[in-house]
Amino acid sequence: MGEIMKTKVTFTLPAEIVGDATNGVLLGEFNNWNENEGIVLKKSKNGVMKTSVSLEAGQSYQYRYLLADGRWVNDHNAPNQHDNCVITVPEKAEKVVQKGADDLTKIRGIGEKIAEVLITNGIDSFEKLANSTFETLRAILDTLGNRGKSYDPTHWAKQAKLATAGRWDEFKKLHAELKK
């Protein structure tokens, strides 16, 4: 029998769904819906809850979130089956960010390829990008050789801080200024 390929999947629950809940767990077919085996959700400063888990590539799983305030909630960006959400893990083992996770391509100057490089280097959220130094970002870009030299991460952290804080009007204003 061949080796089982696993893929790291990040589950993200938006702040508007989390509400006042202080913590929660991810439950699903991958942990037999057992609360004692629930995967703990980490709540960030902006109210978003996240967790990552390695799942078997090519498989589909039903899941839901159980919050500390007793609410069972769904990821409204995921397809539903009956009352549960469903995720299908891609066949190809790669880092996967579930719908609803931070889209780093919203940052001016970051396209899909650069977002992929950042994610590979552990920067997979606005919060992590906001806390990254220019030197760290430059070092990551330098791994791309000459291609990486054409990117300027000077304003990435500032944009990410606004996104993390949910200050979208200021984000859009800064984004427009950077277009000029």
Six token digits for residue 32: 């037999």
Predicted TM-score of the model (pTM): 0.51
Confidence at residue 59, expressed as pLDDT on a 0 to 100 scale: 87
Q: Please count the other Cβ atoms lying within 10 Å of the Cβ belonging to residue 109.
A: 15
Confidence at residue 107, expressed as pLDDT on a 0 to 100 scale: 93
Residue 160, amino acid: A
Give the C-alpha separation, 89 to 98, whole Å. 10
154: left (phi over 0), alpha (psi -120 to 50) or beta: alpha
Residue 63, amino acid: Y
Q: Please count the other Cβ atoms lying within 10 Å of the Cβ belonging to residue 141.
A: 20
Closest CA to 98 of 137, 49, 140: 49
* Secondary structure of residue 144 in the 3-state scheme: coil
Q: Which residues of the chain have pLDDT under 70?
A: 1-4, 77-81, 91-101, 180
Confidence at residue 79, expressed as pLDDT on a 0 to 100 scale: 67
Six token digits for residue 81: 């089956």
Confidence at residue 91, expressed as pLDDT on a 0 to 100 scale: 67
List residues bridging with 42 in a β-sheet: 50
Three-state secondary structure along 89-135?
CCCCCCCEECCCCCCHHHCCCCCHHHHHHHHHCCCCCHHHHHCCCHH
| Per-residue model confidence as pLDDT tens digits over 139-152 | 889 888 888 888 99
Q: Tokens 């913590």 belong to which residue?
A: 23
> Residue 7 contacts by C-beta under 8 Å, 6 or more apart in sequence?
54, 55, 56, 57, 89, 90, 92, 93, 94, 95, 96
